[in-house]
Structure 1
Amino acid sequence: MNKTLRAARLGGLAAAILLALCSQAQAQISEQQAARLGNDLTPLGGEKAGNADGTIPPYTGGMTQPPAGWSPAQGYVDPFANEKPLFTITAANLAQYKDKVTPGMQALLAKYPAFRMPVYPSHRTAAVPPDIAAKVRQEAVRAQLNGFGVSQLNGTTTPFPIPQNGLEAIWNHNLRYLGGGLQRTYASFPVRGSGDYYTLRIQENRVFDANMDKASDNRLLNYSARFISPATLAGTVQLVHEPIDQVQEVRSAWIYNVGQRRVRRAPDLAYDNVNDGTEGLRVTDDFDGYNGAPDRFDWKLVGKREMYVPYNDYKLGAKEVKYKDVLTASTPNPDYMRYELHRVWVVEGTLRPDAKHVYGKRVMYLDEDSWTVLASDAYDTRGTLWRVGVHPLVQFYDAQVPWYRANIWHDLSNGSYYLAGLANEETQPWTFGIKGRFADFQPDALRRMGK
């Protein structure tokens, strides 16, 4: 090949790459599309209309006020406490409802006789504050994908309310509004197939960059978690600086080990690494339904479906319900679970040929009204369904935050499950909207936090 021809071909290749990068960096939707937000679409991009047969109601703004007479000391009381199940899905009648039950939940029904799905009337309670919704509308035409990362957010918490692909939908989940900052103490439980379990208590502070006293470039949030129990982990502290664009900058993490009295970098707080206290039942990027850099998977937007998903599960976290009542063998006590019919975005992630992960494929079911992952099916690298995520959502009505009442991961290979996020027996109310100090989220602050 002569030099002139080689140069021409290289120039053409460079131009093609540049064109691809430029097209990828264009605004995702037009002004005309964005005008649908708050009209025929909800402020975050869901369909305002109900479904044809009326089993999914129209969206009327969500639940934006607590019940009359409510106080934080009560916990989040159930506004639908008087409702009874419409029906219950079991292994015996699954065929009647199969098209609206995820493959993972179908597997749980087949494997565990105790697993059942009580289905209640649907309530579209998810809502965010008006200023958050307005920012989504304002920035919808500006937010961009940048490879596997995002840019041009300008404060929006739902950059792609009308998603064009699976990666955009995943970023909507990762960046969704959680009140600006929150402090909570919660309990998690690895539950073996026999029903034996132990309790982990964790105090977490999660403050988004807009609520910090000092801004950081490309910072989504600052996160710290201190183990209170069991004794083997008490005093251990994790610290995370979570970037927005994870192409530009990878996650930074540190851990303080109370036994060694030493702070060290923790490069393993990402992807498929296993965290302390999870007994290997959950990997790092399973936390919060899904989190972190999405670059090890190719994400496909399969489409929107009507599915029975865990929603408005206030009873699961009620103060009068004890942990021991919830933690039954093989699966949490279904008497405290609630499923409703909702529309969800189905997103399928397939492990990239050049990447490593314990999951070969994962399928996410994202709430159309909040972009929260409500259920997840994870397959091993041989294509076998392995872990089933059931992630009950509630509206934290005092803060206008739709978020998890708990997260549950079932391991089909050994009959165990991991349940995280309950606060039934905790005395300190969860606090949303907290502010953070830059100095409190630095590595040299970890020893103080561990005491």
Structure 2
Amino acid sequence: MKQTLLQAAALAALFSTALGAPSAAGAAVSADEAAKLKTTLTPLGAERAGNKDGSIPPWDGGMSKAPAGYKSGEPRPDPFPSEKPLLSINAKNMDQHAAKLSDGVKALMKKYPDFRIDVYPTHRTAAAPQWVYDNTFKNAIRAKLVDGGHGTENAYGGIPFPIPKDGYEVFQNQRLAWIGSNLQTPIRVWVVTADGKRALASGGIETMSRPYYDPEGSLEKFDGYYQLGKFVATEPGSKAGESILAHDNLNAGVPRSLWQYLVGQRRVRKAPSVAYDTPDAVTSGIGLVDEAFMLFGPIDKHQLKLIGKKEMYIPYSNNKASTAKVAELFTPNTLNPALVRWELHRVWEVEATLAEGKRHVVPKRKYYLDEDTWQIILFDGWDAKGELWRTNFTLTLLAPDIPALVGFVMWGGYDLQTGAYYMNMASNELPTQYKTVPSIPRSAFSSEQLANEGTR
């Protein structure tokens, strides 16, 4: 009888792993495993070595020095202005490179004969401050998954699971990826309709505080709120004054708090429906709420399975695109291929499938996360009929002054069925860009303050 129970337990554990369930107890790694972060792995958990043929170089510390004369908030220059593409991939030759292309990229090539990706030499530009590396090492042997894999405890100030065991740990790394501590940026949201018409959907100021990455804080002082963010619209005139505020906690048992200020109602209200597959009004409904920032809000309607690591062509260090003219970047059908930089990098692949008893208009997604930053760079989504529907991207901005490679800006998506696309968090033709700011008081992220800023 005892042997039968043991066999049943082992079978159940194997079955759960196959379905992508979180690792048992979300255990931290051993001290011996963590020691790899100082030898064969980078301080954030990527492979320190390059690949066999040298097309992916070794990580040598990334880029952590701002260009001479650079001032915070200025548009950042292209770090590699003289480089030329190594190759271009389009519908004619994509079969030769299919293993390193996402399904969404291949679908764009098939749909639009003029679409291509220009592949440049790979540079592992990602970097973070030393204190983030130090905290990541501490987290490796103390952080644990909780709340069925949707929460984290005993982590602070660094990547929580630099040596992940499953897709849930990988996604907690994404939520807590290093993009700076206190941030502010003017942004615009551009949409391009199926008939090629470009329009400004929204514009305003995005402000974010990440208490999890307070360099003066500690695990003992941390109250669980890892991110506080708000967006206040200033354009177009019909949306000026609209705003949204979000408080996100590492404990999935603490529901995220989200408020909206709508000018027509002249009041702040709770907005629990701004989640999951609700059409995102900021992108004129082309995007979904949980596609924002590549991942926004809970993902508990899906179960996550870590497929593994692979080499893939992904957008990288797109400072050139960030300073391009609007009319040149946002062209009919797709972003202008000549302005988008792609590189070969190793990525973690995670498959999200609809959990039993749950509902979502995108029941299956495949996510690709950059190994050097833990940020989602590309993901694809399939509809209920099993047809590829959506493909999303972030171009990534290299900000050596922070230092960080930021996937929090220039993100967007293509609707492969309607032909429309959008890009959010764009600063093209604006005088300032994504920047770090001094510590922001919690009172700046109160619902009362949201009403004050939204009133016009």
Pair in the same fold by TM > 0.5? yes
CA distance in 2, matches of 1:422, 1:203: 11
Matched, 1:37 2:37: yes
Following superposition, the deviation at residue 83 of structure 1 comes to 0.2
What is aligned with 1:143?
Answer: 143
Matched, 1:377 2:383: no
CA distance in 2, matches of 1:25, 1:427: 48
Asked if the contact 2:91–2:109 (Cα under 8 Å) also holds between the matched residues in 1, the reply is: yes
CA distance in 1, matches of 2:396, 2:439: 24
Choose from 387, 401, 404 the match for 1:401.
Answer: 404
Higher alpha-carbon deviation: 340-349 or 251-260: 251-260
SS in structure 1 opposite 2:279? coil
CA distance in 1, matches of 2:410, 2:38: 29
What is aligned with 2:50?
Answer: 50
Matches within 5 A, 1:292-311: 292-311=297-316
Cα distance change on mapping 1:70 and 1:438 into 2, 3 Å: closer
Asked if the contact 1:213–1:438 (Cα under 8 Å) also holds between the matched residues in 2, the reply is: no
Asked if the contact 2:22–2:167 (Cα under 8 Å) also holds between the matched residues in 1, the reply is: no
Pairwise CA RMSD: 2.3
SS in structure 2 opposite 1:83? coil
CA distance in 2, matches of 1:55, 1:65: 24
CA distance in 1, matches of 2:26, 2:402: 34
Asked if the contact 1:204–1:223 (Cα under 8 Å) also holds between the matched residues in 2, the reply is: yes
What is aligned with 1:79?
Answer: 79
Cα distance change on mapping 1:434 and 1:273 into 2, 3 Å: farther
SS in structure 1 opposite 2:175? helix
Matched, 1:365 2:368: yes
SS in structure 2 opposite 1:288? helix
CA distance in 1, matches of 2:119, 2:335: 16
SS in structure 2 opposite 1:138? helix
Choose from 195, 204, 207 the match for 1:205.
Answer: 207
Amino acid at match of 1:242: D
Cα distance change on mapping 1:26 and 1:167 into 2, 3 Å: closer
Matched, 1:330 2:333: yes
Cα distance change on mapping 1:208 and 1:72 into 2, 3 Å: closer
Cα distance change on mapping 1:73 and 1:360 into 2, 3 Å: closer
Matches within 5 A, 1:152-171: 152-171=153-172
SS in structure 1 opposite 2:61? coil
Cα distance per residue 1:333-391 (max 9 Å; x no partner): 11110110000000000011211111110000000000011110011122111000121
CA distance in 2, matches of 1:373, 1:118: 20
What is aligned with 1:417?
Answer: 421
SS in structure 2 opposite 1:264? strand
Following superposition, the deviation at residue 275 of structure 1 comes to 2.2
SS in structure 2 opposite 1:113? coil
Higher alpha-carbon deviation: 54-63 or 268-277: 268-277
Percent of pairs with identical residues: 36
SS in structure 1 opposite 2:344? strand
Asked if the contact 2:72–2:436 (Cα under 8 Å) also holds between the matched residues in 1, the reply is: no
Cα distance per residue 1:118-137 (max 9 Å; x no partner): 00000000011010011000
The count of corresponding residues between Structure 1 and Structure 2 is 434
Amino acid at match of 2:142: R
Matched, 1:265 2:270: yes
Amino acid at match of 1:423: S
Asked if the contact 2:181–2:436 (Cα under 8 Å) also holds between the matched residues in 1, the reply is: yes
Amino acid at match of 1:241: H
Asked if the contact 2:73–2:434 (Cα under 8 Å) also holds between the matched residues in 1, the reply is: no
What is aligned with 2:256?
Answer: 251
SS in structure 2 opposite 1:331? coil
Asked if the contact 1:207–1:436 (Cα under 8 Å) also holds between the matched residues in 2, the reply is: yes
CA distance in 1, matches of 2:166, 2:419: 34
Following superposition, the deviation at residue 216 of structure 1 comes to 7.2
Following superposition, the deviation at residue 173 of structure 1 comes to 0.5
Asked if the contact 1:127–1:395 (Cα under 8 Å) also holds between the matched residues in 2, the reply is: no
Amino acid at match of 1:126: A
What is aligned with 1:349?
Answer: 352
Asked if the contact 1:161–1:172 (Cα under 8 Å) also holds between the matched residues in 2, the reply is: yes
**Gap runs ≥5 in structure 2:** none
Higher alpha-carbon deviation: 125-134 or 429-438: 429-438
Higher alpha-carbon deviation: 306-315 or 208-217: 208-217
Cα distance change on mapping 1:409 and 1:429 into 2, 3 Å: closer
SS in structure 1 opposite 2:314? strand
Cα distance change on mapping 1:58 and 1:184 into 2, 3 Å: same
Following superposition, the deviation at residue 160 of structure 1 comes to 0.9
CA distance in 1, matches of 2:321, 2:70: 18
Higher alpha-carbon deviation: 142-151 or 100-109: 142-151
Asked if the contact 1:178–1:401 (Cα under 8 Å) also holds between the matched residues in 2, the reply is: yes
CA distance in 2, matches of 1:104, 1:73: 33
**Gap runs ≥5 in structure 1:** 1-8
Cα distance change on mapping 1:222 and 1:213 into 2, 3 Å: farther
Asked if the contact 1:143–1:150 (Cα under 8 Å) also holds between the matched residues in 2, the reply is: no
Following superposition, the deviation at residue 432 of structure 1 comes to 1.2
Matches within 5 A, 1:45-194: 45-72=45-72, 74-146=74-146, 147-194=148-195
What is aligned with 1:6?
Answer: none
Cα distance per residue 1:82-121 (max 9 Å; x no partner): 0000110010111111111111100000001221100000
Cα distance change on mapping 1:343 and 1:231 into 2, 3 Å: same
Asked if the contact 2:142–2:154 (Cα under 8 Å) also holds between the matched residues in 1, the reply is: yes
What is aligned with 1:226?
Answer: 232
Asked if the contact 2:112–2:333 (Cα under 8 Å) also holds between the matched residues in 1, the reply is: yes
SS in structure 2 opposite 1:37? helix
Choose from 428, 440, 448 the match for 1:444.
Answer: 448
